[in-house]
Amino acid sequence: MRALAAALAVALLPAAATAADPPRVATADGLGTLLVSFPGAPDAGEVHAAIGRFGEPRAVAPEAGIWSVRAPADAGLRDRVLRAPGVRSAEWSLVRRVDERARQAQAPAAPAAPLPLTPVGPPTDEYYANGRQWSLFPPATTWGVDLTGTPARPRIAILDSGIDSTHPEWSGPASPLVAPYSAWTRRQSAEDWGRTGHGTHVAGIAAAPINGIGVVGVAPGARGVAEVMPVQISDRDGYSTDETMIRGIRWAVRNGAKVVNISAGGVGSSPAFQRVVDWAFSSGALTVVSVGNDGQDYGAVNYPAGYRGVLGVAAQCSGAVTAPDCPTPYGLARFSNRNPSVDVVAPGADIISSVPPWVRQGMVSPGYAVKEGTSMAAPFVAGVAALVFAANPGATPSQVLRQIKNTATDMGPRGRDASTGHGLVNPRAAVTLPLPVDDPHEANSDIAAVRRVAAIVPPATLSAFIDVDDDPVDVYPVTVRAGQVLRMSARSSSARLRISYWPPGTRTITSGRPAATTRRASGAPSLAVTASRSGRGYVVVRAAAGRGAYRLILRRSR
């Protein structure tokens, strides 16, 4: 197993952190991993019958119908697998990379202008008490230790290089670490093996315990109260693949994580990965992802940040002006990607947190170092998400996702923009304001996501939420009979909608054409269609503009 990691690391060698590296297939010994998705959740026998001739199928996330085959990475194979019966999608597992910035060799940035020390209550943890953790104090944030008081906080899974369980923040009988797992070795152990201690650093930002030493996390971990799950998905050099990430997400969700942090990404997307994100969302877990450090205006979208239903996080600067990264105090870091994957901004430059003892780069004292990157911003938001879940028992990922976006403080151009999304995350508002109503049908952006949802039998009236930027498509399975007239209408006061109808047998609404669609988008579209076939049809509501609640009314003749 170590050999696998070593072989992969070698194969991936071009490690230069150039902007927007092209998509790269993760290969070792000329073999690649083809991620294959099926409708529903077929069993091993069915999968073997479909694709066994291409290689031994391996379960990756069978609950979401995701399997893989290892095979020679040649272009023709994917096409052949795609033609196999029942296969919905097939893509090579691509390489991802942690979103930590390599700090320049020059002297570390001048320390931030000393922050006025606010008397903040109990934590005596050194770097909190002396104000070094600027990201937890005004004017950067509205976070306060009082927001962490709710006793039961959900498990946060840190999908990364692992967490150093011998570190004073993470060791001893009070250690909050639970259910460690390595998607590389498949063992239930996830010691940080990263050369930069990336995972231990990310974990500290989200959840370092209040224990009188070192640093304080946004949602401080504590055994039995706010637990932290180390899931190893990256190799020693910070590289990961779609397959290891999907295995990591599966482990996290099956072991009770409510928040999944991924501080890594790369270009190139996959329907199979989207499906796993949807499955995690429907299973009650919110995925928080860094948007990447390529720093390009409207540059290529990185994944998993770009998938629907994940919270994409960009990086905020501290009060210290460090050209060229941070020309504006508390502004957006120049390295932070600017594109539609950005949902919110959080502190991501000059961030001190825990690291394993061998890490020297950026070291402030043994076991503590400063890093920067959107990698550091994502776990801040993961911590906020955990606090929102804690303050609202029973909250769904859809509610927590929208709460964090709705309560963010606008930055840059007015309203949502591609550089800063909805703005700077506002922990106090997110934790203390009432949650938005649930969007109970999510995740429902394509047919695969609603595969296990019972079909609606008209007449029925549904309430849901839609957003042209973040949640533009809702799919509803509906029972129809040949010859029946199905009448669909929607009402929204804030979004312009379009309705379409797709007949039984449709596999995806991302290609092909609907059987019928409204001509124009409006606040009150309606559509009638005579079903030509009986079975499970699909009513699709799309937002052409705006966002907000809507009602969908379904009726049928006879």
What is the CA 189 to chain-centroid distance, rounded?
23
Which residue shows structure tokens 């509906």? 478
Q: Which residue is nearest to Ca ion (CB)?
A: 125
Nearer to Ca ion, 208 or 540 (CB): 208
Report the C-alpha gap between 284 and 376 in whole angstroms: 24
Nearer to Ca ion, 446 or 471 (CB): 471
Report if residue 412 touches Ca ion, rule: CB under 5 A.
yes
The amino acid occupying position 272 is: A
Question: Is there a contact between 526 and 540 (Cβ–Cβ < 8 Å)?
Answer: no
Residue 439 binds Ca ion, judged by CB under 5 A:
yes
Shortest spacing between CB 210 and Ca ion, in angstroms: 6
- Token digits of residue 347: 């502190």
**Nearer to Ca ion by C-beta: 137 or 239?**
137
Work out how close the CB of 321 gets to Ca ion at its nearest, in angstroms, rounded to a whole number: 22
Q: What share of the chain is helix, strand, coil (3-state, %, to 5)?
A: 20, 30, 50
Report whether 219 contacts 257 (CB < 8 A).
no
How does 14-37 read in b/e, with b if 16+ C-beta sit within 10 Å?
Answer: eeeeeebbebbbbbbeebbbbbbb
Query: Least distance to Ca ion from the beta carbon of 467, Å?
Result: 8
- Using the minimum distance from each CB to Ca ion, give the nearer residue, 17 or 468: 468
Q: How many residues bind Ca ion (CB under 5 A)?
A: 11
Per-residue contact track with Ca ion, 250 to 289, x per CB under 5 A?
----------------------------------------
Query: Of 471, 496, 502, 546, which one interacts with Ca ion (CB under 5 A)?
Result: 471
Catalytic residue among 375, 398, 445, 500: 375
Query: The tokens of 499 are what?
Result: 């309705």
Structure tokens at 205: 């930002």
Distance CA 137, CA 117 (A): 9
Catalytic residue among 160, 235, 278, 325: 160
In whole angstroms, the minimum distance from the beta carbon of 423 to Ca ion comes to: 5
Token pair for 431: 């934790």
Contacting residue, 135, 211, 234, 269, with Ca ion by CB under 5 A: 211
Concerning whether 365 is annotated as a catalytic residue, the answer is no
Q: Is 442:402 a contact under the CB 8 Å cutoff? A: no
- Residues 46, 191, 410, 438: which binds Ca ion (CB under 5 A)? 410
Chain residues 446-465 in contact with Ca ion, contact rule CB under 5 A: 464
What does the buried/exposed string (b/e) look like for 516-554 if buried means 16 or more CB atoms within 10 Å of the residue's CB?
Answer: bbbeebbbebebebebeeeebbbbbbbbeebbebbebeb
Using the contact rule CB under 5 A, the part of the chain among 208-216, 303-311, 380-388, 451-459 near Ca ion is 208-216
Distance CA 428, CA 146 (A): 10
Q: Which is nearer to Ca ion, 125 or 243 (CB)?
A: 125
Q: How many CB atoms lie within 10 A of CB 375?
A: 33
| Catalytic member of 167, 198, 201, 441 | 198
Look up residue 154 and give its DSSP letter: E
Q: Is 208 in the site for Ca ion (CB under 5 A)?
A: yes
CB closer to Ca ion out of 32 and 367: 367
- Least Å distance, CB 307 to Ca ion, is 15
Interface of this chain with Ca ion, residues 106 to 125, rule: CB under 5 A = 125
Which pairing describes strands 344-347 and 351-354: parallel, antiparallel, or unpaired?
A: unpaired
Q: Does residue number 417 form part of the binding site for Ca ion (CB under 5 A)?
A: yes
Q: Is 235 a catalytic residue?
A: no
In the complex with Ca ion, the residue whose CB is nearer, 136 or 527, is 136
- In the numeric block, the tokens 């006061």 are attached to 493
Does 198 qualify as catalytic in the annotation? yes
In the complex, the smallest distance separating the C-beta of residue 543 from Ca ion, rounded to whole angstroms, is 9
| Binding positions for Ca ion, rule: CB under 5 A | 125, 208, 211, 214, 410, 412, 417, 439, 464, 471, 474
Catalytic residues: 160, 198, 375
